[in-house]
Amino acid sequence: MRKQEKMTLAAACTWMLVIMVLLITAFPAGVLAKKKVTCLFIGNSVSYYNNMPEMYGKIASEATGKDVSVTTLMAPEKGPHAFSFNVAAVVHSKGNYSKLKRKELYYTDRNAFDKKLFDAYRKILLTKNGKVRHYDYIILQDHGRQHSYPHSRMGILNLVKCLSDKKTTVVIFMPNYHITPQKDLDTQKKRQAKDDRIVTKIMKDLEKSGLKYKKAVAARSGRAFYNYVYTYGFHYASRLSPKDYKLYKKNDKYLCDLVIHDEMHSTQLGAYLHAATIYSAIYGKSAADTVKKYRAVSTFRLPVLHRHAAGTNDAMQNGPFRSKKILKKICFIADQTQNHGMNITSRSEAKKWKHLR
């Protein structure tokens, strides 16, 4: 009996080894890895300050358990209208620099669009055989309030036409622009109402266009910024020097801690609010569950094109986040603004939201 038991055990072990070998050969490395999700961010300094796209990638990866890969097409002071010309020209060339038609480029870039810049666009937009590279999500940042003009809205339509397919989700990223002094909050209400109308027009344009895309959503980050400001008031940005502090105080000018001294570009906290709002727009829920694991993204140089145009591609670091409690409130505001219609217009109204106290 003992001999038979040993033979049975040996046979069982042999079969187990055979099954393990079959499983390993049937599922090569990568198949059992996390599902990869690709995102393309197109925008200017409002997007790339403090590595906002990378922040979004970390938030989405931790929340979904997927490998969220972020690619950026960034240039100072450029909006969708300017990008649409350059993107279309590179796509039409099918990756061949000799076939690039300079008349199709944006007029300010025709002389400066050299082989190096062309290759940078090509690697982002096209595969090796010249076909348009697929991205699961394309996040298009608007450029100020130029969306109110037909040519700027047409820029978004052209970008979607060139880059999206039936499996691509298009995200229109509407950030804040120039958070003004506290005494001018009435002007903020009018500006935000105008932005809301513009977003509605853009979404209707996309719906009527007949272009190929899976779905389109608008990330109302500007509205989320103002909801934060009305709730917690304006504070001096931590980046201000003592000299700037005195200057702003003398002029009765107040800053929210979401933005730096120019009242437009984000601090780390502001960039986190942008990223959380985009996440809530795409997935329809709050990013608060990621706060426990989240850590501030370290400084690195994002790939920014057209450096000759203006500015640099240095990330603007403004110190570490204050606390997880603040981040959770940021995520709550982002989700409620994006998915539940939060529209706070006074401090007294903000007190009604118990999660913000």
Q: Is the pLDDT reported for residue 2 higher than 90?
A: no
Q: Quick one: DSSP state of residue 258?
A: T
Q: Quick one: DSSP state of residue 181?
A: -
Q: Is the pLDDT reported for residue 262 higher than 60?
A: yes
Containing 139, the helix (H) or strand (E) segment is strand 137-141
Please tell me the pTM assigned to this model.
0.81
Q: In sequence order, what DSSP letters do the residues of 319-337 get, joined into one string?
A: -----HHHHHHHHHHHHHH
Q: Tell me if 171 sits within 8 A of 142, measured CB to CB.
A: no
Side by side, the strands of the sheet bearing 137-141 are: 67-74, 36-43, 137-141, 169-173, 215-219
Of 20-29, 82-91, 130-139, 198-207, the poorest mean pLDDT is in 20-29
What is the average per-residue pLDDT within 132-141?
95
pLDDT single digits (tens) 154-173: 889 999 999 999 999 999 99
pLDDT single digits (tens) 316-327: 444 445 567 778
Nearest to 263 by CA among 41, 77, 46: 46
- Average pLDDT of the chain to the nearest whole number: 77
Q: How far, CA to CA in Å, does 230 sit from each of 46, 178, 185, 189, 217?
A: 21, 15, 9, 11, 25
Containing 185, the helix (H) or strand (E) segment is helix 185-209
CA-CA distance, 149 to 243, in Å (whole number)? 39
- Rounded percentage of the chain residues whose pLDDT exceeds 70: 68
For the chain, give every domain's residue range: 33-356
Q: Quick one: DSSP state of residue 66?
A: S
Q: Quick one: DSSP state of residue 215?
A: E
**64 burial level (CB within 10 Å; 0-12, 13-18, 19+):** middle
Task: Confirm or reject CATH 3.40.50.1110 for domain 33-356, answering yes or no.
Answer: yes
Q: Tell me if 258 sits within 8 A of 266, measured CB to CB.
A: yes
Quote the Cα angle for 207-208-212, to 5°. Answer: 65
What is the average per-residue pLDDT within 186-208?
80
pLDDT band at 294 (very low <50, low <70, confident <90, very high): low
The whole-number pLDDT of residue 200 equals 84
Q: Which residue is associated with the tokens 């995520």?
A: 331
